[in-house]
Each structure stands twice: as C-alpha cells, then as structure tokens.
Structure 1
Amino acid sequence: MQSAKLGMDGIILAGGRSSRMNGQTKALLPFGESAMLDRIISRMSLVCDSLVVVVATEEQYDAMSGRGVRTLIDRLPQQGPLAALHTALEQTEPGKLHWATACDMPFISETAAVWMKQKLERSGKMAIVPEIGGKLHPLHAIYRTECAVAAAEFLAEGRLGMMSLLDRIDFDIVKEKPFAEAGIDVRFAFNMNTPEQYEKALRMEARL
C-alpha cells in the first residue's frame, strides 16, 4: 500500500507472550479477511512513511516477517513494551515522529494519529498520548525519536513500564472531548488481551 508521506513512521509492538489468549498469538488472530497484524499494517501504511514490527523471538520473527515491512527482534525480549519501543526508536533518525501501536488493537485510527501528530508538531513536546476512559494509552501515541534516551535510562534502572517513560518526558495529553469534537471515534484505544475481549472486538467490528 502506498504511503501518504506525512513525515511519520510507524512502530507495531508484536512481541508479547499472549499469555491470556489461551496460547494464541494475538498478532495472528483472524480479524475480518486478514490477520490482526496485517489489518494494522494496512491501516498504518495509509499515513506512515515506513513501518517496523518489533517481535521478541526468532519464532515470532519467522511467523510475522515477510509482510513488506521491516521486522526487528527486541534487544531486551519479554521485558515489556518500553523495551520494544526503545529497540525501534534507537535505530531511527533524530527528529522523526513515530506512531506506536500494539498488535492487539483492531480499531487503530490513522485519522487520530495524523491529528495527534499535527498537534505534537505545533507543541514541540516529546510525545502526545490519548487519555480515553480516564486512562492514558501510550500505545496509540506519537513519539519523537529522542524519547529513546529517556527509555534507555529507565531500562538501565530496571523500570520497564511505559508509564516510566511518561514520568520523564514532556508530553501532551489529549482527552476524549477534543477527539469527539474532531469527529474521531475513540474506540481506537480498545485492545484485546483475553478471548472474551477478542470476541467483543469481533462483535464491535460486525456493528461498524
């Protein structure tokens, strides 16, 4: 799919264990006419200049590569999304903007991503993160490459959570009302960790 060349790259984190999904790999679950990962790649390719998928193991690499996008093996596998994000960011050029998502988010919104990117460009801050349902969603957010420095510091300290990164960088928050005023459906923040959530997502898709 041809990119719109909007000055933004995409990062898909797909290295989780899927431990609550009864052993099924979330990225490869069928969703509509394709696998979850292919669905996300298709949506992100609409607005990203390039995409990278970060996995944790050689087995995941074999299962998820060959989709026309770069695939990286996490340098700190199974240490959580912050480590995976750092693996991708540390290999990119300074000054780039990156839309980071997870492989279990079937309703990601390229419209929301572009809208947040534009706000981030105007603010000059390090990242912009949506707050939906009173909860921050750092895996449907936009980050500058320079966030890799703060991520590396926390990983060296053994602090592995995405919220640790947000503790150290200057970032903007976008709440539900501005998204609604812009006509953006906030279901983009929905993610699936369990079979029940997967079934709910399939029902949501059927109603769209």
Structure 2
Amino acid sequence: MITGVILAGGLNRRMGGKHKALLPVQGEAILLRQLKEMSRGCEQIIVVTNDIETLQPLLVGVKDIDVQCVSDHYLQKGPLSGIHAAMKVASAAHVWIVGCDMPFISIDAAKVMTELCRESNLDAVIPKIEGRLHPLHGIYAREVGPETELLLGQQSYRLMGLLEHLDWQSVDGDYLLQRGLRTNFVTNINTPEEYESMLENLPL
C-alpha cells in the first residue's frame, strides 16, 4: 500500500502570494483534484502545510477522504522538510510525494513506480520525463526518513541532495508509456504565466 503526501508548505512567492493548492483547474482546486486522485489507491493521505487555516475549508468539504494535516518540524526549509514531516507519521512502507502545484498527478503511475521500488528493494523511484528528473511525484521508502533528518540537521536543504544518499532508480517516459500511462503528471505551476499557459492548453 501507499501513503500519499501533498507538500503545501511553500510561501508561493513566484505566484504572487496566491496559494497554488487552491488554484482552480477544470473547476476544482488543485488540492481537491489531488486528494481525489490519491484516494483511488492510497491507504493514508497526508497534507504537509504551515497554513492549515487557509486549506481547512477545502479539507472539511472533502467527503469520504480521510486527510491528515501535519506541519514542518524545520520551518521554511523547502520540500525536504515536508518529506521529513510526512515520514514521521507515514504508515505505509512506500510514500508517494507530490507538490501542491501539480494538477495532473497519477495514482496509476505511482503504483507502477511503487511496485518497481518494492521489487528492486530501492530507497526511491523517480520519474524522468524528457530528460528531466522529477523528485516530486517520486516514490520513497519510509525508511529514508532518518536520512532527511540528518541532512536537515546539517543545514543541507536540497532535495536532489537527498538522492545522493539513497539507492534510487529513475523511470523514463517510454517505460511509462509502454504501460499505457500518461506522462503529464509531472506538470507543475510556479508562476501566473505558467498557470495561464496551462489553462490555455487544457484539452476540451
């Protein structure tokens, strides 16, 4: 089984202060879309946020999905801090980590990567789409939690730095396409311009 984790602890500076998790895509906030997708295959869903008051109205309105909110132990230290906080309470052996600005996450891709992680006894499996690694939308073994704490204690906050300490493998787009999976799940939104461009290119 899988624990799904949504990292929603950023300051959203590049989005002009608008919380990316609440941006609407096809009539639904990104966070709500993510919760629905995770509920299709995750036994536990965790939202890491330091702004529960902003997200709470949306979470309260989610029916039949049990969501646990936790805060960073190391405040404003990026995704690595969010992964650390999630690993403290994750119940499944494998944890699916996504950013709150990713409207098209895929539980089917997460399941394929989790199976690879389990079968190969890896610490992590990371998608590599069009030559670029996407550690957010990656699968991580729960046992990497202590490694995140060690790095944070050393004031090493780079998420890619975590991978340097793990036994991990990438999966490319062709691998996923051969299994009938889409690869747009890595799409993320950082700026108003990227958001508008994404909306303009949505399929009708």
Question: Fold conserved (TM > 0.5)?
Answer: yes
Partner of 1:43: 37
Partner of 1:72: 70
Q: How does 1:98-117 map to 2 (within 5 A)?
A: 98-117=95-114
Task: Report the alpha carbon displacement of residue 61 of structure 1 after superposing the two structures with TM.
Answer: 5.5
1:34 aligns with 2:28: yes
Asked if the contact 2:32/2:58 (under 8 Å) is kept, the reply is: no
Partner of 1:129: 126
1:204 to 1:46, Cα distance in 2 relative to 1, 3 A: farther
> In the TM superposition, what whole-angstrom CA distance separates every residue of 1:172-192 from its partner, at most 9, and x where no partner exists?
111122112112221111100
Asked if the contact 2:52/2:69 (under 8 Å) is kept, the reply is: no
1:173 aligns with 2:184: no
Task: Report the alpha carbon displacement of residue 57 of structure 1 after superposing the two structures with TM.
Answer: 3.5
Task: Report the alpha carbon displacement of residue 79 of structure 1 after superposing the two structures with TM.
Answer: 0.8
Task: Report the alpha carbon displacement of residue 65 of structure 1 after superposing the two structures with TM.
Answer: 4.3
- Aligned-residue Cα RMSD (Å) equals 1.6
Structure 2, unpaired ranges of 5+: none
> In the TM superposition, what whole-angstrom CA distance separates every residue of 1:113-165 from its partner, at most 9, and x where no partner exists?
11111111110111100111222111101111101011111101111111111
Asked if the contact 1:8/1:97 (under 8 Å) is kept, the reply is: yes
Partner of 1:91: 89
Give secondary structure in 1 for the equivalent of 2:97. Answer: strand
1:158 aligns with 2:155: yes
Instruction: Kindly provide the amino acid, as one letter, of the partner of residue 21 in structure 2.
Output: A
1:25 to 1:126, Cα distance in 2 relative to 1, 3 A: same
Aligned-partner Cα distance in 1 for 2:197–2:181? 21
Aligned-partner Cα distance in 2 for 1:201–1:11? 23
Q: Percentage identity across aligned positions? A: 36
Partner of 1:3: none
Aligned-partner Cα distance in 1 for 2:114–2:31? 22
Instruction: Kindly provide the amino acid, as one letter, of the partner of residue 171 in structure 1.
Output: W
Task: Report the alpha carbon displacement of residue 198 of structure 1 after superposing the two structures with TM.
Answer: 0.8
1:58 to 1:183, Cα distance in 2 relative to 1, 3 A: closer
Task: Report the alpha carbon displacement of residue 62 of structure 1 after superposing the two structures with TM.
Answer: 4.3
Task: Report the alpha carbon displacement of residue 91 of structure 1 after superposing the two structures with TM.
Answer: 2.0
1:23 aligns with 2:17: yes
Asked if the contact 1:61/1:73 (under 8 Å) is kept, the reply is: no
Structure 1, unpaired ranges of 5+: 1-6
Give secondary structure in 2 for the equivalent of 1:184. Answer: coil
TM-score (norm 1): 0.90
Partner of 1:4: none
Instruction: Kindly provide the amino acid, as one letter, of the partner of residue 119 in structure 1.
Output: L
Instruction: Kindly provide the amino acid, as one letter, of the partner of residue 51 in structure 1.
Output: I
> In the TM superposition, what whole-angstrom CA distance separates every residue of 1:12-70 from its partner, at most 9, and x where no partner exists?
00111111112211001111122110011001110101100000235446456434411
